[in-house]
Structure 1
Amino acid sequence: MTQFHLHLVSDSTGETLQSMTKAALVQFEGVAPIEHVWTLTRTVRQLDDILDSIEQKPGLVLYTLVNKEMRDVLEKGCQKLNVSCSSVLDPVLAAFSSFLGQEIQQLPGRQHILDQNYFGRIEALNYTMAHDDGQMSEGLNEADIVLVGVSRTSKTPTSFYLAHRGFKTANVPIVPAIPLPQELFSLSNPIVVGLTTSPERLSEIRKNRLLSLHETVDTDYVDRERIKEEVIMARKICTRESWPIIDVSRRSVEETAAQIITLFTKRQEQAGVR
Structure 2
Amino acid sequence: MTPIVYVISDSVGETAEFVVRAAASQFNGSRAEIRRISYVDDMEPIRETVQAAKEIGALIAYTLVIPELKEGLVREAQEHGVTAVDIMGPMVSAFQSNFQAEPKNRPGLLHQLDDEYFRRVEAIEFAVKYDDGKDPRGLLRADVILIGVSRTSKTPLSMFLAHKRLKAANVPLVPEVEPPEELFEVSPHKVIGLTISVGELNLIRTERLKALGLREEANYAAFERIKLELEYAERIMKKIGCPMIDVSNKAVEETASIILDQIKRGSRRS
Assess if the C-alpha contact under 8 Å between 2:51 and 2:80 holds in 1: no
Deviation at 1:184, TM superposition (A): 2.5
Partner of 2:182: 183
Query: Alignment partner of 1:146: what SS?
Result: strand
Partner of 2:42: 43
Distance 2:216 2:58 in 1: 50
Larger Rg: 1
Distance 1:168 1:106 in 2: 33
Identity of paired residues, percent? 37
Partner of 1:149: 148
Deviation at 1:38, TM superposition (A): 5.3
Matched, 1:70 2:65: no
Matched, 1:111 2:110: yes
Give unpaired runs (5+ residues) of structure 2.
none
Q: 1:52 to 1:185 in 2, by over 3 A?
A: closer
Q: 1:189 to 1:223 in 2, by over 3 A?
A: closer
Compare 127-136 and 70-79 and name the one that shifted more: 70-79
Matched, 1:93 2:95: no
Partner of 2:262: 263
1:200-252 CA distance string (max 9 Å, x none): 34345556667849699665x65533532432343354356442222233234
Distance 2:34 2:159 in 1: 27
Instruction: Return the letter of the residue paired with 2:168.
Output: T
Deviation at 1:146, TM superposition (A): 0.3
Partner of 2:245: 246
Assess if the C-alpha contact under 8 Å between 2:188 and 2:242 holds in 1: no
Partner of 1:15: 14
Assess if the C-alpha contact under 8 Å between 2:50 and 2:77 holds in 1: no
Instruction: Return the letter of the residue paired with 1:92.
Output: M
Distance 1:21 1:264 in 2: 29
Alpha-carbon RMSD:
4.8
Query: Alignment partner of 2:92: what SS?
Result: helix
Assess if the C-alpha contact under 8 Å between 1:196 and 1:246 holds in 2: yes
Partner of 2:199: 200
Deviation at 1:262, TM superposition (A): 4.1
Deviation at 1:84, TM superposition (A): 7.5
Relative to the length of structure 2, the TM-score reads 0.68
Deviation at 1:142, TM superposition (A): 1.0
Distance 2:185 2:132 in 1: 19
Aligned length: 266
Deviation at 1:143, TM superposition (A): 0.3
1:108-136 CA distance string (max 9 Å, x none): 13334444344333432443344333343
Partner of 1:228: 227
Query: Alignment partner of 1:250: what SS?
Result: coil
Relative to the length of structure 1, the TM-score reads 0.67
Query: Alignment partner of 1:200: what SS?
Result: helix
